[in-house]
Structure 1
Amino acid sequence: MKLRLGLQARFLVMMALALLVVVLLITLLLNRQERMQLEVEGVSREAMRTMVRDGMRRQGEGTVRQLAESLANPLYYFDLDAIGVIGRTALRNPSVRYVTVYDDSGNIVHDGSEEIPSYGKRMDDKLATEVIAARDVHIQWNGAVMDVSAPIMIGRQRIGGVRIGYDMKAARQFQETAVGSLRTRLDALGQRHVVWIGLLGVGLLVFGGVVLWLIQRFLVQPIRQLAEAARAIEAGRFDTVTPAGTRNDEVGDLMRAFERMSRSLARHDRDIRRMAYTDALTGLANRLAFRETLDQRLLERGTGRQLALLFADIDDFKRVNDTLGHDAGDEVLLQFTKRIQAAIKRLGGEDVLLARFGGDEFVILVQGGGKDGDVRKNASLLAETLVSDLGEPILVHDRQVFLGTSIGITLFPEDASSATSLMKNGDIAMYQAKVAGKNCYRFYSRAMDQAVERRVHLEHELRGAWERGELSLVYQPVFCLVDDAMIGAEALLRWQHPERGLVAPSVFIDVAEQSGLIETLGPQVLHAACEDAVRWQQLRPQGEPLFVAVNVSPRQLRSGDLPQVVAASLRETGLSADLLHLELTETAVIGDEAQASNLLTRLRGMGVKVWLDDFGTGFSGLSHLRRVPVDGVKIDRSFIADVLRDPDDLALTTAIIAMAHSLGITVVAEGVEREGQYAILRERGCDLAQGYWLGHPLPAAEFLALLR
């Protein structure tokens, strides 16, 4: 007969072993405590010293780099007032002892003071030789001073430098104060440990006796009864938790009974409910559960409470799946869920329900009533918070992803009285938020129904417009400013609607972009433009070949197959790759700089030229030209329009031309509508130009006639 060791006996053995281990640990802990305190103090002192030096080094490097960038233009134009302002700002830092701006020969230009007593003098201190010779950020230590310097560059040319001296005395005082505080706290902590260890030992003895009595009275006998109850649960009464395991004692009987119960419970209830009412990825309520809750809330409308539905859709979520994969997309959805839940916890009020309808769409049900019954105000505040919180960057697979959220809000009973109508209205309002520019929220209004209907109708008519011959290309000539010769043309898409007449490109291009039709129209436009360009060359067998410039939408760039589409068009039409110029906007490139840089490198490797359109209106600036491979930039027409009467636009245009040329990039001016604009652009060294003064956009046949 196999010996059965009961719970009480097992617990006595475990308690004895535990007490023995605790006594040994307490002895070792008391012996090691004092030595550990000394070691911690020594390690902390060394770590503090290293941390302070590294922190000051990083601070100095960051500050001097920022000052060097800020001082580039003032030093280049020798603007002593601007240099003085920047220098005095840096001197306000209590740890900064001096700030010196010097020219490329090492002569002092400014020291941050009002009088500049050292102006024009050559730096002759012990550290000056290395500072003048340095071509990058340079750090030197001289007793109680850390000297940090950096060259000031215009393009690749060094025009001078800036140096900052940091006082190390305050850092050392901070280090000694911190170590002394640490020593005091370690002593106090050691004393508390001794007291708590003694209390712990006493507590363990008392706890062991109490638990032993409790096990005998409240566990061993009830376990035998619970084993029988578990068999009843197996028959279908699901009202307890689910343990698992195999043991040869009373608890083992209970575990085996509950294991059988668990299988039956999971088979008949839990899994079915989870699949039916929750979202598998996020664990939120799904569409079915949300609809049932909404119906129930509407039935309770006699309580006088208002309801608000917030439909939140992630902007450009498809780009994450297309570029980073569906695993990254799932991670984004989980992080969005956490942020939404946090915002709801802070602002949502009572009885708020969050659900995921699938894909990248979330719905929030907010209930008003009580003292603060303004559900519209509460919904607005929650929507503003969500737009702000969800607009923060998300780290996915070691990459920062920037996504916005469009939110549509509909109210009960103002907008509708049924669940179906409310959900439809929420979708319409969310769509209007996307049309308004995304990353915002909009309340539903009845006028939206008509706007959505018009936009949907326009989208329907746009489908097949190319095949029906309603869409066509026109070409605007591009001229070289050196010899006034036409060297190419930009292809522009026009829609001649049979009833509406000529539809503005800003209208139908936006519809095509939002609906995804641009991914079909883009390759068709590219192929047609390449065919026309081949005909141009046939008319000019002895002349200089003309290039054709084709605009590419951000959606085409994000799809990732643009190089294959371009290669197919060149292969099928026979156009030389160097005669095709692709134009992209700044915002399309900086949306995902790594992806764009990879695609543009592949296109340029084929021989295709890449131009950056509407340059100066986005957020990239010239700094991005060093990281994104492009062959040319097109100065936006807003700068060209005022170049004759606005000195700032003229200066900015001149600077863009000079700096682009320093990077080997061609500069194109668009929107040239006056002879004076053309003359001043030629004077400032602009390479190419286009505009109504040079030539209006012409249909393909008229452009061929022009070439003849």
Structure 2
Amino acid sequence: MRLRFGLQARYLVGMTLVLALVAGLVVVLMARQTALQDEIDRLGGEAVRSMASESMERRGTAMAQQLSDALANPMYFSDMQAIGDIVSATARQPDVAYVLVFDRDRRVLHDGSLDITRYGQPMEDPLAARAASGSGPLVQWSDQVLDVSQPVRVGGETLGGVRIGYSLKQVRGTQLKAAQSLRGHLATLRERQSQLLIGLLVVLGVLLLAIAAYVQRTVIRPIRQLSEATRAIGSGDYDASHLVSRRQDEMGELVRSFVDMNARIAQHDRDVRRMAYTDALTGLTNRLAFRESLDHRLMLLRGAGRELALLFADIDDFKRVNDTLGHEAGDEVLVQFAHRIRATVERLGGDDALLARFGGDEFVILVQDGQVREVASALAEQLARDLGQPLVVQGRQVFLGTSIGITLFPEDASGATALMKNGDVAMYQAKMAGKNCYRFYSRAMDQAVERRVRMEQELRGAWERGELSLLYQPIHRLSDRKVVGAEALLRWQHPQLGSVPPSVFIDVAEHSGLIEIIGPQVLRTACAAAARWGAGLAPSDLPFVSVNVSARQLHSGDLPELVAGCLRDAGLPASRLHLELTETAVISDEAHASALLSKLHRAGVRVWLDDFGTGFSGLSHLRRVPVDGVKIDRSFIADLQRDPDDLALTTAIIAMAHSLGITVVAEGVEKEAQADLLHERGCDLAQGYWFGYPMTSAEFDQLLR
């Protein structure tokens, strides 16, 4: 095409000038970057040398002080054997060039050799004069050694002194390696940044050229046809094929560019419609599209005598992934789950199966081919098997699984809303049945939901009615099997329901928020009971009480104030109260938990991590969160004698916790052999039926006596 100095030519010239200007700026930036990195290299080398020198001086001064203290008595009693042992041990260190012990007359008493070759000789090296006459620690440098001296005194009398010489050859070699490593890293960084800048320049040039080409195709259009075409686009008609121009000037170009723009708008409209019905993360059908498809299918199936199955799948314990590994890991888990579910549905669900992500960690599947009950059962069973396999997320294995609820049309419901509600109820029952399984909806499930609602209502006011009470399970010290404390356990004796298991009503209290009312009452009662225990016993023999604290209480933020008030009202010392929290409760918001626990720790309250070893946290979090103890979960203790893996893991937890100064408690000890194994591995405390069943406060007080 003939190039005229019109709009197109002017634009190309302008883009060329901009590109040249950017290239000049990149060259200047690269030069400045090189000078800056050279300065960083110089300063880094100086910093390395300064830190190495300071480190050697601190080490030498500390070692000289230790030798001075250790040599005082041997020099006072002229014990040459003891002096030789002390000096020889120090002289064997790899970077120590010499160790000299001298008397008041600056004569050598010992030089670290077996025959003391320099015994009685005066010290005549250039550093000797200042070293011998110094009244305190003295550091001197020469080209070859760092000399650190320290007088040796007994009372106010100076017996002589000690000198330690450190060879600088190894230190300088280390400094040289560090400087070379730093220069190598800076050179690599300089090369990468240069490549990046060049790449950016290339990308910018390509981008400018692309923009120039785009403007060339789209700016010049026949303006007299734009009004009609614009009205057509406004009404949703994107058929602009009638806009044709054979002109080679700006007007002809404008017409052809407008046709291209119209096609792009049409494609964008199709993309927007597709995005509205697709889940952005997994690429599956989204909630809106699923509901429309479900309504459409139900309308077609009504009166046709055909069935449809809806499978409602929810990932088990997915919240733990977000809390412990982060939301990016959670997204990766969802994508991997979506791929597994899609593969299984394509294999077993039939041609008309529809898979959608319903939101969060929930997936729904529609099945309507063949015998839908049998197909849904086989599909759900295979999904539970496939999704129960471990996932690899960020280099770590994650075990999750899924709970699936199945409901049928028209057997269970005739409308979409009721059908999805039934699927959700069935899924919840699958979770209650142990997770990673499936359940078909039944009318009885609605009754189970009603019972849970009723239990929540009955739980309100249960403390005031005297139905809730505390029992105390003794905690023994394994070294002497002595009772040192007790764990407060909440029990519910309902007038009609009888004894309600804690695993049932505490879960209800957690999900309903009632735990925030019951928790402070439990803490207050346990503190008051502990204050009455062991009257007449020595203070060192008084037991502690441990109380479980829920995640809701920890996250509320007022836990330290609540604990302080309970201790004050009961007159119980803070050291006799231990709070137990789960790993997930602590690490779900580690910074917040660390601040609260530090406040409790300063007040003297001990903090334990309960059910340790079952979460995702690992021992790394123990270094960042102030805890005093961990309780090994009973699942590891149960198979301690039969399972070598449980024994090895328990032993490792004990060893690593002790290395951090953390007390280890084992729960669920039911056999003497378990207690003996734990004692051999160094476990500190234990509780379980072997030591004692939960008992009332009065019975525990009698046990102490």
Q: Please, what TM-score do these two structures have when normalized by structure 2? A: 0.53
Contact residue 485 and residue 543 of structure 2 kept, 8 A: yes
Distance 1:584 1:392 in 2: 27
Instruction: Using the TM superposition, give the Cα deviation of residue 323 of structure 1 relative to its aligned residue in structure 2, in angstroms.
Output: 2.0
Q: What are the superposed Cα offsets for residues 170-209 of structure 1, whole Å, 9 maximum, x if unpaired?
A: xxxxxxxxxxxxxxxxxxxxxxxxxxxxxxxxxxxxxxxx
SS at match of 1:415: coil
Residue among 559, 571, 576 paired with 2:588: 559
Residue among 683, 689, 699 paired with 1:671: 689
Aligned runs of 1:517-666 on 2, under 5 Å? 525=522, 529=526, 532-533=529-530, 536=533, 540=537, 542-550=539-547, 552-553=581-582, 555-556=584-585, 559-560=588-589, 566-567=597-598, 576-577=605-606, 582=608, 584-585=610-611, 589-592=613-616, 595-601=617-623, 606-608=627-629, 610-617=631-638, 621-625=646-650, 626-627=652-653, 629=657, 631-634=663-666, 636=668, 640=671, 653=674, 657-658=676-677, 660-666=678-684
1:437 aligns with 2:434: yes
Instruction: Using the TM superposition, give the Cα deviation of residue 379 of structure 1 relative to its aligned residue in structure 2, in angstroms.
Output: 0.7
Instruction: Using the TM superposition, give the Cα deviation of residue 508 of structure 1 relative to its aligned residue in structure 2, in angstroms.
Output: 1.8
Distance 2:493 2:518 in 1: 15
SS at match of 2:296: helix
- Give the residue type in structure 2 aligned to 1:697: M
Residue among 697, 700, 705 paired with 2:695: 697
Instruction: Using the TM superposition, give the Cα deviation of residue 361 of structure 1 relative to its aligned residue in structure 2, in angstroms.
Output: 0.9
Contact residue 518 and residue 555 of structure 1 kept, 8 A: no
Instruction: Using the TM superposition, give the Cα deviation of residue 478 of structure 1 relative to its aligned residue in structure 2, in angstroms.
Output: 3.6
241 and 352 in structure 1: CA distance in 2 versus 1, 3 angstrom threshold: farther
What is residue 187 of structure 1 aligned with on the other side?
A: none
Q: What is the RMSD of the two structures over their aligned residues, measured on CA atoms? A: 4.2
1:455 aligns with 2:474: no
SS at match of 1:311: strand
322 and 467 in structure 1: CA distance in 2 versus 1, 3 angstrom threshold: farther
Which of the pair has more CA radius of gyration? 2
- Give the residue type in structure 2 aligned to 1:666: D
Contact residue 518 and residue 556 of structure 1 kept, 8 A: no
Instruction: Using the TM superposition, give the Cα deviation of residue 360 of structure 1 relative to its aligned residue in structure 2, in angstroms.
Output: 1.0
**Which ranges of structure 2 fall in alignment gaps of 5 or more residues?**
5-221, 242-248, 549-580
- Give the residue type in structure 2 aligned to 1:495: W
Point out the more displaced range, 502-511 or 612-621.
612-621
Distance 1:636 1:538 in 2: 29
Distance 1:550 1:396 in 2: 35
473 and 455 in structure 1: CA distance in 2 versus 1, 3 angstrom threshold: same
Instruction: Using the TM superposition, give the Cα deviation of residue 418 of structure 1 relative to its aligned residue in structure 2, in angstroms.
Output: 1.8
Distance 1:575 1:528 in 2: 19
Distance 2:257 2:464 in 1: 71
Distance 1:318 1:303 in 2: 42
Q: What is the total number of aligned residue pairs between the two structures?
A: 434
Residue among 367, 378, 388 paired with 1:381: 378
SS at match of 1:406: strand
Q: What are the superposed Cα offsets for residues 458-506 of structure 1, whole Å, 9 maximum, x if unpaired?
A: 2344356567765432213345577664322222111244654542324
Distance 1:499 1:241 in 2: 77
Instruction: Using the TM superposition, give the Cα deviation of residue 596 of structure 1 relative to its aligned residue in structure 2, in angstroms.
Output: 3.8
- Give the residue type in structure 2 aligned to 1:632: V
Contact residue 612 and residue 632 of structure 1 kept, 8 A: no
Residue among 389, 402, 408 paired with 2:399: 402
What is residue 327 of structure 2 aligned with on the other side?
A: 326
333 and 543 in structure 1: CA distance in 2 versus 1, 3 angstrom threshold: closer
Instruction: Using the TM superposition, give the Cα deviation of residue 520 of structure 1 relative to its aligned residue in structure 2, in angstroms.
Output: 7.8
Q: Please, what TM-score do these two structures have when normalized by structure 1? A: 0.53
- Give the residue type in structure 2 aligned to 1:336: F
- Give the residue type in structure 2 aligned to 1:259: M
- Give the residue type in structure 1 aligned to 2:420: M
Contact residue 278 and residue 289 of structure 2 kept, 8 A: yes
What is residue 124 of structure 2 aligned with on the other side?
A: none
609 and 330 in structure 1: CA distance in 2 versus 1, 3 angstrom threshold: closer
What is residue 305 of structure 2 aligned with on the other side?
A: 304
1:504 aligns with 2:501: yes
Distance 2:401 2:240 in 1: 42
Instruction: Using the TM superposition, give the Cα deviation of residue 560 of structure 1 relative to its aligned residue in structure 2, in angstroms.
Output: 4.8
Distance 2:514 2:240 in 1: 54
Instruction: Using the TM superposition, give the Cα deviation of residue 621 of structure 1 relative to its aligned residue in structure 2, in angstroms.
Output: 0.4
What is residue 292 of structure 1 aligned with on the other side?
A: 292
Contact residue 394 and residue 402 of structure 1 kept, 8 A: yes
482 and 362 in structure 1: CA distance in 2 versus 1, 3 angstrom threshold: closer
420 and 360 in structure 1: CA distance in 2 versus 1, 3 angstrom threshold: same
What is residue 313 of structure 1 aligned with on the other side?
A: 314
Instruction: Using the TM superposition, give the Cα deviation of residue 706 of structure 1 relative to its aligned residue in structure 2, in angstroms.
Output: 6.6
1:279 aligns with 2:276: no
SS at match of 1:300: helix
What is residue 115 of structure 1 aligned with on the other side?
A: none
Instruction: Using the TM superposition, give the Cα deviation of residue 386 of structure 1 relative to its aligned residue in structure 2, in angstroms.
Output: 1.4
254 and 330 in structure 1: CA distance in 2 versus 1, 3 angstrom threshold: farther
Distance 1:233 1:321 in 2: 49
491 and 350 in structure 1: CA distance in 2 versus 1, 3 angstrom threshold: same
Q: What are the superposed Cα offsets for residues 294-336 of structure 1, whole Å, 9 maximum, x if unpaired?
A: 1221122244331000000111111122222222222222222
- Give the residue type in structure 1 aligned to 2:615: G
